[in-house]
Amino acid sequence: ANWAADNLAFGSGGALLQKLHRDTQKCAFKCSYAVVNGAGVDVVKDPITDPGKKSKAGRLTLEHKAGKWTTVTEGKGDASTDQLVE
């Protein structure tokens, strides 16, 4: 079976047993790139009330170089070294 982003859904429980949520864990899944009327558009969230919630913009790649993991944003990464793609 193959996977596509269209087939995935993510959720974050708010007040389950341990009162953990995406803000206390500093983890959230956010849109970073969209195609609107055939044109690519970077999407970024940058709230003025909490700079820690700023998201990464554009097409992302996860790269591993010299023992360090780096997320490259805005489509500037090297697709051939993207560790999120098989």
Q: What is the DSSP string of 41-59?
A: EE-----TT-GGGPPPPSS
| Six-digit token string for 57 | 């913009």
Residue with tokens 């993510």: 10
* Span 13-26, pLDDT tens digits: 556 566 666 666 66
Q: Find out whether 22 and 7 touch, Cβ atoms under 8 Å.
A: no
Mean pLDDT of all residues in 50-61: 87
pLDDT of residue 69: 93
pTM score, two decimals? Answer: 0.61
**pLDDT level of residue 50 (50, 70, 90 thresholds):** confident
85 versus 74: the higher-pLDDT residue is 74
